[in-house]
Chains A and B, each alone.
Chain A
Amino acid sequence: MLSRVAEHIYWMGRYVERAENTARLINVNAFLLLDLPKGVAPGWEPLIAITGQEGEFEGRYKDYSERNVVKFLIGDMDNAGSILSALNQARENCRTIRDIVPKATWELLTELNIYARDNLQSGLAKKGRHAYLERIIEGSQLLTGMLGATLSRDEAWSFLRMGRNLERADMTTRIVDVRTANLLPDDTSELRPFETIQWMSVLKSLSSYHMYRRRMQVRVQRGEVLRFLFQDTTFPRSVLHCLQAVQHEVAGLPRNTACRDAISGLQEKVGDTKVERLNQDKLHLYIDQIQLGLSKVHEALASGYFLPLDDARSGSV
């Protein structure tokens, strides 16, 4: 497979996943705010922190009002992480590999882009937002499912799956990071019921609430939620599960030593830590290390399999 093609399909996987996760995030935050009493509710600012774009946001918007944050995350084409940008990027990456992926991939991505653009106003309005975001999530899942059912398990599949899982692992860590560090107020007893609600919102933003209940068999509480979201080996959005998927694909690649090292090191890091015992600061550090590890895996993939950067193009074999 051409390096360029591998790169495009990898990014297509990442961007589709990014659009989906961003949609989840907004939806769950909206519901969470309805459940929390005034004064406790953290508002919309944390969503920008999750995506790590405070600087960019503050440069263009004057406050963290619901309208501004939602606009930035859904419809701002200058924000590379907005749903509209991510879907557009997914489609642009698909454009040059239309001969590699099933035909319906391109059509679905085109439809989803058109839907997202044409219905943007209703997506930004309180009333239409939920339905709009659900449609984005469904569209992304449709695409993921369709590829899962029709794409041959060759290199194209490997790169798609690695892109999707790295992005997913990254988003899971970000959601937990911000929800734990910035959102939760100090542990006072009168707010205990709301803490549960917030942990439920963490689970729900990852569509993991039901799976958590079934798997962990305990009520929603911090330590168990963290173990589930980082280390569960059966839930497809847990960090460890995502890393296993990446490792599985890396194993089938040629010349894979660097990638294998990067991914197995990260797996150990994620799996061997007693997450439930980490206090907020340690947890934040742990998450930082995972994110660093994820970007190392990405770099190993990029330097091993993608096109070299422009200035390094000429030269010998």
Chain B
Amino acid sequence: MPIDLKQYNTDGLYDELLAKPNRSRSHAKHLVRQLRKMDAADLAERQDAADLAIKEMGVTFTVYTEAGAIDRNWPFDIVPRIIPKSEWDMVAKGLKQRVKALNKFIDDLYHEQKIIKDGVFPAEILADSKNFRPQCVGVNPPLGIWAHICGSDLVRDGNGRLYVLEDNLRVPSGVSYMLENREVTKRVFPELFEDYAPMPVDDYPSQLFDTLCDLSPRKVKHPEIVVLTPGIYNSAYFEHAYLAQQMGCELVEGRDLLVDDKDVVYMRTVSGPKRVDVIYRRIDDEFMDPEAFREDSMLGVPGLLRAWKSGNVALANAPGAGVADDKVVYAFVPEIIEYYLGQKPVIPNVPTYRCMYKEERDYVLDNLDKLVVKPANESGGYGMLMGKSATQKERDQFARLIRRNPRNYIAQPTLSLSTVPTVIHDHLEPRHVDLRPFILSGRKTQVTTGGLTRVALRKGSLVVNSSQGGGSKDTWIVDA
């Protein structure tokens, strides 16, 4: 039985490939035509082939359970998500603008704090920030850049408009899956490439390598670059190993490195200590250096911060860069862009109400049943109010919390994320997606062509995390 897209019910939401049931968007027409040629068995067979390829390629993510660390195969859906190049060009421009402004913002916070003196950014927020590192005040990282690798999450709402949902400036992950997803699509769906020439993504490791080279304090022809991982039990260990391998660098753990009394970093090799110039660290600030941050960290390198401050080693991302990725700071990004660059943001923020301002707070309190309320300093969905589905009692409780400590809360409208057709057993159903492109900042700023599309595999779910039943899709930027 051929695949019947008349039954494909978008429920009035924005679908990335189909404008209506059985009618493709123009950039997706070849893909939809190919899908229509297939029957249920073909579809299931392709999905099986993809699952097998993932297994053979060893693409995994690690879940930690009581029984130890388990490597799960990376969940992948074969139907790619397509974005027209014309739209992507704007997105890339917007992301570069955003990251540029955020880097200026971070640099300012660790130096003169002009933005606070000028009354654009409230001092109270900085005072409450969990990710501001006083240890970093006055440091001048190479090129004045703090967040060299940024992963920003984009979502579309019901009318198809793209927004930035959050910026990850600490140790964003996912890029290896973006690269592997393309490899899998090439293996299992080669005929799709007859009609399309999606922009390649596999440049990323070289771009990352160049970005890291730009930061080397020693001006040598071949600076020693390493990837620092917390180790095999980290959920993103696959990615750490993958990137090290792709860049031809050593993958090191904290115990492989040492800092000598001249504040120079070395790695321990069988030929003796070897100097390290740039560290792409995939370990959180707090665990990086027991001398400067958490003393109980077994993962870090004693003296690393010293070496960085002395300018003997470059760290990407710089310690303290995370100050710009908390939820309240997010709400100020439009102002931050305006302040440092004198420009309007190219990609909007999700409209965000800051309860610290009376007018915005009043709106929030009047509309709790329509909004999502988030505390500033929590992550992973803790302590949130989903106004729509909450009980009156819960809403009343949040109203009290907000009045008591308004600075700690922001609120956003409930977004109905866009959907993409996704293989469910042997047919296609709409499932919600987001998108995480990666932005590299060195001597030049580069944005991945596309990014990692994550998809919530459960019907109606908006949770795209792989640890919670999320999958992923190849993402195509096409000149349509």
CA distance A103 to B55 in the complex (A): 12
Residue of B nearest to A99 (CB): B245
- Flag if A2 contacts B241 (CB, 8 Å): no
Q: Would A98 and B255 count as touching, CB distance under 8 A?
A: no
State how many angstroms separate the Cβ of A188 from the closest Cβ of chain B. 54
B244 located at the interface, meaning its Cβ lies under 8 Å from any Cβ of chain A in the complex: yes
B270 interface hit (Cβ, 8 Å): yes
Q: A96-B231, A316-B260, A316-B261 are in contact. Are A2 and B271 (CB under 8 A)?
A: no
Q: Using Cβ atoms and an 8 Å threshold, which residues of chain B touch A37?
A: none
**Within 8 Å of chain B (Cβ to Cβ): is A305?**
yes
Among B169-177, B246-254, B349-357, B363-371, the stretch that binds chain A is B246-254
Determine the chain A residues whose CB is within 8 A of the CB of B252 once the complex forms.
2, 4
Pair A95/B232 contact, Cβ less than 8 Å: yes
Question: Interface residue tally of chain B, by bracket?
Answer: 20 to 34
Q: Determine whether the beta carbon of A3 is less than 8 Å from that of B270.
A: yes
Question: Looking across the interface, which residue of chain B has its beta carbon closest to that of A103?
Answer: B58
Most buried by B among A95, A103, A313, A317: A317
Contact of B266 (CB < 8 Å), options: A98, A159, A317: A317
Point out the residues of chain A lying under 8 angstroms from B260, CB to CB. Answer: 316-317
Which residues of the partner chain B approach A33 to less than 8 Å between Cβ atoms?
none
Tell me the minimal C-beta distance from A220 to chain B in angstroms.
43
Residue numbers in B under 8 Å from A254 (CB-CB): 270-272
B269 within 8 A of A: yes
Chain B residues within an 8 Å CB radius of A96: 231-232, 251, 253
Chain A residues, Cβ within 8 Å of B270 = 1-3, 6, 155, 159, 253-254, 305
Check if B256 is an interface residue, CB within 8 A of chain A. yes
B256 near A307: Cβ-Cβ < 8 Å: yes
**Among residues 245 to 283 in chain B, which have CB atoms less than 8 Å away from a CB atom of chain A?**
245, 250-253, 255-256, 258, 260-261, 266-273
**Separation of A98 and B239 alpha carbons in the complex (Å):** 12
Contact among A4, A99, A155, A255 with B268 in the assembled complex (CB-CB below 8 Å): A4
Most-contacted residue by chain B among A4, A159, A307 (CB, 10 A): A4
Once A305-B270, A307-B268, A317-B273 are accepted as A-B contacts, the answer to whether A99 and B251 lie under 8 Å apart by CB is yes
A189 cross-chain contacts in B, Cβ below 8 A = none
Cβ of A315 under 8 Å from chain B: yes
Query: B311 near A: Cβ within 8 Å?
Result: no
Is A4 in contact with B271, judged by CB distance below 8 angstroms?
no
Hey, what's the 0/1 contact readout for B277-313 against A, CB within 8 Å counting as 1? 0000000000000000000000000110000000000
Q: Please name all residues of chain A whose beta carbon is closer than 8 Å to the beta carbon of B232 when the two chains form the complex.
A: 95-96
- Please give the distance in Å from A100's CB to the nearest CB on chain B: 9
With both beta carbons as reference points, the residue of chain A lying nearest to B254 in the complex is identified as A313
| Closest CB in chain A relative to B5 CB, distance in Å | 39
A3 contacts B256, C-beta separation under 8 Å: yes
* A313 engages B269 (CB within 8 Å): no
Residues of A within 8 A of B251 (CB): 96, 99
Q: How far is the CB of A259 from chain B (nearest CB, A)?
A: 11
Quick one: given A103-B58, A107-B58, are A3 and B258 in contact (CB under 8 Å)? Answer: no
Q: How near does chain B come to A252, taking the closest CB pair, in angstroms?
A: 11
CA distance in complex: A182, B260 (Å): 54
Q: Is A106 an interface residue (CB 8 A)?
A: yes
Task: With CB as the reference atom, state the residue of chain A lying closest to B275.
Answer: A317
Contact with B along A134-167 (1 / 0, CB 8 A): 0000000000000000000001000100000000
Residues on A with beta carbons closer than 8 Å to the beta carbon of B245: 99
Structural contact, B58 and A313, CB atoms closer than 8 A: no
Q: Give A42 to B375 CA distance when docked, in angstroms.
A: 72
A217 contacts partner chain B, Cβ-Cβ < 8 Å: no
Residues of B within 8 A of A95 (CB): 232
A254 to B271, CA, bound (A): 6
Bound complex: CA A9 to CA B132 (Å): 41
Contact flags B205-244 to A (C-beta < 8 A → 1, else 0)? 0000000000000000000000000011000000001001
Known: A95-B232, A313-B255. A3 touches B261 (CB 8 A): no
CA distance A22 to B73 in the complex (A): 32
Q: B310 → chain A, closest Cβ, in Å?
A: 16
Given that A99-B251, A317-B266 are contacting pairs, would A4 and B256 also be in contact in the complex, using a CB cutoff of 8 Å?
yes
- Give the complex CA separation of A106 and B59 in angstroms: 13
Q: Shortest Cβ distance from A316 into chain B, in angstroms? A: 5
Shortest C-beta distance, B448 to chain A (Å), equals 22
Q: Are A317 and B58 in contact (CB under 8 A)?
A: no
A4 to B231, CA, bound (A): 12
Is B250 touching A2 in the complex (CB atoms < 8 A)? yes
Nearest CB of chain B from residue A157's CB, rounded to whole Å: 13
State in angstroms the CA–CA spacing of A3 and B269 once bound together: 5
For residue B231, which residues in chain A have a CB less than 8 angstroms away from its CB? 96
Q: Smallest Cβ distance from B51 to chain A, in angstroms? A: 16
Given contacts A96-B232, A107-B58, are A313 and B256 in contact (CB under 8 A)?
A: no
Closest A residue by C-beta to B261: A316
Q: Is the CB of B58 within 8 A of A4?
A: no
B253 x A4 contact (CB < 8 A) = yes
Q: Which residues of A contact B250 (CB under 8 A)?
A: 2
Nearest-Cβ distance from residue B73 to partner chain A, whole angstroms: 12
Residue of A nearest to B57 (CB): A103
Q: How far is the CB of B418 from chain A (nearest CB, A)?
A: 36
Instruction: Name which residue of chain A comes closest to B267, CB basis.
Output: A2
Q: In whole Å, how far is B62's beta carbon from the nearest beta carbon of chain A?
A: 10
Q: Knowing that A254-B272, A308-B268 touch, tell me 17 more A-B residue pairs with CB under 8 angstroms.
A: A2-B250, A2-B267, A3-B256, A4-B252, A4-B253, A4-B255, A4-B268, A96-B232, A98-B58, A99-B245, A99-B251, A159-B270, A314-B302, A316-B261, A317-B258, A317-B266, A317-B272
Ranked 8 nearest A-B pairs via Cβ: A99-B245, A3-B268, A305-B270, A317-B273, A254-B271, A316-B260, A317-B260, A99-B241
| 8 A-B interface contacts by CB (under 8 A) | A99-B244, A103-B58, A107-B58, A307-B268, A310-B255, A314-B258, A314-B303, A317-B273
A contact set with B: CB distance below 8 Å? 1-4, 6, 95-96, 98-99, 103, 106-107, 155, 159, 253-255, 305, 307-308, 310, 313-317
